[in-house]
Every structure is written in structure tokens, then in C-alpha cells.
């Protein structure tokens, strides 16, 4: 993957396969997790994804008008949560890192990515007519996956 000189990782989709699924077709543990996570959210869709040979399920939700996507493993364990956030709500270092990544481009969307206790941030950036993603850790450095 190409890197910017200051260590921001530009990412592409890493999902090998995605397919829409119905709640009734999910494993029981995943159904339970989806129901729990959507008690105060609107469920927009469900997908089965295969990433690096492993199967996951993504629940696309909306909470308080903002996008919140939840990645769940077949055992019902939440692996990752992506939430729409504002650039201003980020820690200063992460905000600066994404602004450096954007350079002369425009930041179109920002998400927080929570994996366990680790939070990182992604931005969709439009630069020279192309859209790219930049990912940084909370300290503003390249996100470590």
C-alpha cells in the first residue's frame, strides 16, 4: 500500500467477499449480539463478510442520526465498532494527523474505529478528484492493524 511520507497509511478495502444476509440466517450467538446492539439503534442492514479467510457479520446501524457499524465474529463477540464522528471531537494528535494526510484535499467523513480497548480514526479524503482513506491511531501516527 502506498504511504505518505509522514506515516499515514492509505487503505483499500480488505474484504474479499461481502453478502447481504437476513437476521434469521445468522448464527444464534450473532443474532443475540445484533439484538442487544440494536436496542437503541436502527438496524439498516446486515452483511456476512470474509476477511483474510475468517467469517464476520456486520450490523449497519444508526444511533442518534449517526452511522454505527458493528463487526461481530461467529461466536457473537464484537470485534470492531465504527462510528461517525466529527473531526473536532478527535484528540488533537489524531485530528492533526488526519489533516496532514488530507494536505490540500478535503476531509469528507471521519470515523472512530474501536477494536477492544484500542481506538483509531479513519477519514475519507477527496484530493485531486480521487477519494482515499487515511487511518491514524489516537496519537496521530499511522494506524497499526
Q: Could you state, in order of their start, the residue ranges of all structural domains in the chain?
A: 9-137
Task: Identify the band that residue 13 occupies on the pLDDT scale cut at 50, 70 and 90.
Answer: very low
Give mean pLDDT, residues 84-93. 96
- Where are any strands of DSSP class E within the chain? 9-11, 17-20, 42-51, 54-63, 66-72, 78-85, 106-115, 118-127, 130-137
Helices (H), 18-111: 28-37, 92-102
What local confidence, expressed as pLDDT, does residue 18 receive? 85
Q: What percent of the chain has pLDDT over 90?
A: 82
Topology (CATH level 3) of domain 9-137:
Nuclear Transport Factor 2; Chain: A, (3.10.450)
Task: Identify the band that residue 52 occupies on the pLDDT scale cut at 50, 70 and 90.
Answer: confident
What pTM was computed for the model? 0.81
Give mean pLDDT, residues 68-75. 97
Q: What DSSP character marks residue 31?
A: H
Give mean pLDDT, residues 113-137. 95
Amino acid at each position: 500500500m502506498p504511504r505518505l511520507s509522514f506515516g499515514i497509511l492509505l487503505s483499500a478495502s480488505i474484504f474479499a467477499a461481502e453478502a447481504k444476509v437476513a437476521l434469521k440466517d445468522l448464527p444464534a450467538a450473532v443474532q443475540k449480539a445484533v439484538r442487544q446492539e440494536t436496542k437503541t439503534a436502527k438496524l439498516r442492514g446486515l452483511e456476512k463478510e470474509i476477511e483474510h479467510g475468517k467469517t464476520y457479520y456486520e450490523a449497519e446501524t444508526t444511533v442518534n442520526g449517526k452511522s454505527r457499524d458493528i463487526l461481530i465474529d461467529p461466536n457473537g463477540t464484537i470485534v470492531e465498532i465504527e462510528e461517525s464522528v466529527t473531526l473536532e471531537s478527535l484528540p488533537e494528535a489524531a485530528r492533526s494527523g488526519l489533516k496532514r494526510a488530507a494536505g490540500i484535499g478535503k476531509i469528507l467523513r471521519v470515523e472512530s474505529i474501536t477494536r477492544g480497548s484500542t481506538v483509531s480514526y479513519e477519514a475519507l479524503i477527496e484530493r485531486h478528484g480521487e477519494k482515499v482513506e487515511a487511518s491514524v491511531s489516537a496519537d496521530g501516527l499511522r494506524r497499526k492493524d
